[in-house]
Amino acid sequence: MGALAALPVILGPTAVSASSAVVLMYQRFGEQHASYTNIRLDQFDAHLAVIAERDLNVMPVPEILTALKAGRGLPDRTIGLTFDGGFRSFYTDAWPRLREAGLPFTLFIATDTIDAGRDGYMTWDQIRDIAGSGATVGTQTASHRLMPLLGRDANDRDIGKALRRLEEELGRRPQIFAYPYGAMSRAARAAVEAAGFEAAFGQHSGVLHRGSRFHFLPRFPMNEVHGGAERFRLAAGALPLEVVDVTPSEIFLGPGRNPPIVGFTVAGEALPYIGLLTCYISGQGKVRMERIGPARVELRFDRAFPAGRPRLNCTMPARQGRWRWYGTQFLVPRS
């Protein structure tokens, strides 16, 4: 978990102890045909310029996770950088920028894609270059298929194959995981936990904190559509909106479970400001909320979610122009 300890950490001028961190997710760079998975290079340069202002504390993701699990404080505005997919544009365009800035990061790959030598993706030699520089390399399974649609045995085999290939090619077993397409279910999470991963990430917005579910952690996706400098500042400065007793426990919405009955109890520093809470769901916009007692919130949806991966985002304003944020992602299978 401490493989990146020798890399520099970018500290802001006021390193106030905090108990949360933000992780950001990128995929392609300068590939204009895929706006929702791509970020323009001028946008990424703007993000790096914000980091260079030294208001943010960039740490290796494994060290962030270790600190949160141990209950140790982190500098305020701590962020981690993650890059999914193993796209060649990361190697040619993003990595040189990260290396010049001395920034630690995590790369998540699906090993079948690399083995197949597909156009537009990195090679094992390039991934070895990155791993040899001290970066963390995690996995997204071998096949990068939607895990909730597979059985437990298939997921176990898929994860096992990825772990074997990473050990063969890099000489190490990854400790962190990213769900393909951010899609999780209880069965998928059980397979990830059984494989021994210390943490796993989705693709839903939110903030890591000590009470997080460490096998379904949030990340703020950055892309052309949602990748401006102000969006980056907003995400990087987000604070946790801590919730407990979340329903439903299953976010894979099969027959009879759509729309879901969504509820949670607001906890922690956000509770006194529960009246400022607003929630939004993909495709429907602002969600009707019902308060049950001083802390319980239940959400009312006008109609079923469409097939795909709808995301729920709940926010409230906080100090210094910052926002508290809780999110999750559902998966609705196509009939």
Q: Check whether residue 30 and residue 152 sit in a common domain.
A: yes
For 325, the domain range is 243-329
Q: Kindly report the CA angle at 167 between 166 and 172, in degrees rounded to 5? A: 100
Q: Check whether residue 170 and residue 251 sit in a common domain.
A: no
Q: Check whether residue 228 and residue 249 sit in a common domain.
A: no
Tokens (6 digits) for 328: 């999750």
Q: Which of 238, 270, 295 corresponds to the end of one domain?
A: 238
Nearest CA among 183, 182, 186, 178 for reference residue 162: 178
Q: Which 8-state DSSP code applies to residue 316?
A: E
Q: Which of 211, 238, 265 corresponds to the end of one domain?
A: 238
Q: Check whether residue 310 and residue 176 sit in a common domain.
A: no
Q: Write out the DSSP string of 134-194.
A: T-EEEES-SS---GGGS-HHHHHHHHHHHHHHHHHHHSS---EEE-GGG---HHHHHHHHH
Q: Check whether residue 294 and residue 313 sit in a common domain.
A: yes
- In order of 37, 93, 201, 278, 321, the CA distances from 313 in angstroms are 19, 31, 16, 8, 18
Residue whose entry in the numeric block shows the structure tokens 């007793």: 245
Specify the CATH number for the domain of residue 277: 2.60.40
Record the pTM: 0.93
Alpha carbons 198 and 101: distance in angstroms, whole number: 28
57 within some domain: yes
Question: Mean pLDDT in the chain?
Answer: 93
Q: Band of the pLDDT at 17, cuts 50, 70, 90?
A: low
Look at the chain and report how many structural domains it folds into.
2
Q: Check whether residue 247 and residue 210 sit in a common domain.
A: no
Q: Give pLDDT tens digits for 92-124.
A: 999 999 999 999 999 999 999 999 999 999 999
**264, burial (CB in 10 Å: exposed 0-12, middle 13-18, buried 19+):** buried
Q: Give pLDDT tens digits for 124-161.
A: 999 999 999 999 999 999 999 999 999 999 999 999 99
Q: Check whether residue 215 and residue 131 sit in a common domain.
A: yes
The answer for 72, left when phi > 0, alpha when psi is -120 to 50, beta otherwise, is: beta
Q: Check whether residue 285 and residue 307 sit in a common domain.
A: yes
Tokens (6 digits) for 173: 């077993």
Q: How many CB atoms lie within 10 A of CB 174?
A: 23
Q: Check whether residue 261 and residue 180 sit in a common domain.
A: no
**Amino acid identity for residue 139 in this structure:** T
Nearest CA among 225, 213, 199, 235 for reference residue 282: 225
Q: Check whether residue 312 and residue 228 sit in a common domain.
A: no
64 within some domain: yes
Tell me what the mean pLDDT of segment 214-241 comes to.
96
Interacting residues of 191 by C-beta distance below 8 A, sequence separation 6+: 147, 152, 155, 156, 159
Sign of CA dihedral 147, 151, 154, 156: positive
In the chain, how many H helices and how many E strands? Answer: 9, 22
pLDDT at residue number 18: 82
Q: Check whether residue 95 and residue 230 sit in a common domain.
A: yes
Q: How many CB atoms lie within 10 A of CB 64?
A: 24
4 within some domain: no
Q: Give pLDDT tens digits for 185-212.
A: 999 999 999 999 999 999 999 999 999 9
Alpha carbons 123 and 145: distance in angstroms, whole number: 20
